[in-house]
């Protein structure tokens, strides 16, 4: 199984070490699931991304600090290209191409899916929290088949790690 992991552009003070980087934590995360990591380098051609897409089983969009440059960066452009290819694959054949967005990757995915920025400022720095489930969560893909003990832990204990500055709130999502 080959999983793509998006690289990011290095800041100017680190450019002497290369133009892109890929944090080892994301590589180890993907490898711990038994998958092989395929780095997706930013600022490649559309045809290179299309070729890579055909050889992957999914994509991880890691976190970072692009803020205002997210949609105009090489990371944003490459992420949008893979998002569009995944959507096209599903629309044409019903085939799934999973994309996991963590932090900045989640921000990118919400912007692409909604066609606008739905994020609101919501500081949560180094906190463990429990989850409050929305009505009908048992019918969702992510929680539908989850074991009762997992759902109980998520709802009753502070087991989710939160370290972010933005969020998509239910009010914004459902308005």
Q: What is the pLDDT of residue 120?
A: 86
Mean pLDDT per 10-residue interval, the chain, length 175 residues: 93 83 93 95 95 96 84 94 97 95 92 89 89 92 94 96 84 78
The pLDDT of residue 90 is 95
- Domain(s) of CATH 3.40.50.880: residues in the chain: 2-114
Q: How far apart are CA 151 and CA 164, in angstroms?
A: 23
pLDDT at 13: 81
125: which 2 tokens? 């720095």
Q: What is the pTM of this model?
A: 0.84
Those residues with Cβ within 8 angstroms of residue 141's Cβ, 6 or more apart along the chain or in another chain:
none
| pLDDT at res. 11 | 79
Nearest to 6 by CA among 67, 56, 68: 56
Tell me, what's the pLDDT at 133? 93
81 alpha-carbon distance from chain centroid: 14
What is the second-level CATH architecture of the domain 2-114?
Answer: 3-Layer(aba) Sandwich (3.40)
What pLDDT does residue 101 have? 94
Catalytic, 139? Answer no
Residue 25: predicted pLDDT: 94
Candidate list 22, 27, 37, 103, residue with the active-site label: 103
Residue-level pLDDT at 141:
87
């Amino acid at each position: 199984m080959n999983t793509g992991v998006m690289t990011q552009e290095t800041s100017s003070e680190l450019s002497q070490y290369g133009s892109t980087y890929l944090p080892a934590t994301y590589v180890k995360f993907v490898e711990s699931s038994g998958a092989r990591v395929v780095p997706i380098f930013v600022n490649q051609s559309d045809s290179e991304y299309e070729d890579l897409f055909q050889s992957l089983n999914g994509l991880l969009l890691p976190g970072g600090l692009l803020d205002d440059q997210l949609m105009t960066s090489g990371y944003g452009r490459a992420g949008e290209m893979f998002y569009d290819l995944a959507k096209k694959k599903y629309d044409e054949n019903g085939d799934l191409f999973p994309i996991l967005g963590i932090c900045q990757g989640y921000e990118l995915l919400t912007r692409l899916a909604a066609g606008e920025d739905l994020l609101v400022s919501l500081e949560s720095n180094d906190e463990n929290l429990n989850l409050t489930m929305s009505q009908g969560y048992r019918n969702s893909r992510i929680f539908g088949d989850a074991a009762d003990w997992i759902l109980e832990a998520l709802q009753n204990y502070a087991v989710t790690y939160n370290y972010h500055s933005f969020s998509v709130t239910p009010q914004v999502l459902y308005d």
